[in-house]
């Protein structure tokens, strides 16, 4: 193996390592960006004006029956 072959092989290995490190940093930056976008979208939804389409009904009176045990306790006191 000639010295030129060794140099080109070493250079190729070095470039492969550099490319792998670059990919690693790119993937890390992508994950950080996606995480930030996810949290920002949740914050926007939490603090956005309501988008409810429910009618304004106000307070509704209770028209049901009192639980039987509760009724008995009220009458004992």
- DSSP E strands, the chain: none
The per-residue pLDDT for range 5-30, each reduced to its tens digit, is 777 888 889 899 999 999 999 999 99
The pTM for the full model equals 0.53
**What is the pLDDT, as a whole number, of residue 62?**
73
The per-residue pLDDT for range 22-68, each reduced to its tens digit, is 999 999 999 999 999 999 999 999 998 877 777 777 777 777 776 67
Angle at CA of residue 43, ends 38 and 47, nearest 5°: 155
The C-alpha R_g of the chain, in whole angstroms, comes to 34
**What is the pLDDT, as a whole number, of residue 63?**
74
């Amino acid at each position: 193996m000639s010295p030129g072959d060794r140099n080109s092989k070493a250079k190729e290995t070095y470039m492969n390592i550099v490319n792998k490190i670059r990919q690693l940093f790119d993937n890390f930056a992508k994950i950080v960006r996606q995480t930030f976008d996810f949290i920002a979208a949740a914050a926007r939804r939490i603090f956005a004006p309501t988008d409810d389409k429910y009618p304004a009904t106000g307070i509704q009176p209770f028209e049901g029956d009192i639980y039987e045990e509760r009724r008995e306790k009220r009458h004992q006191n």
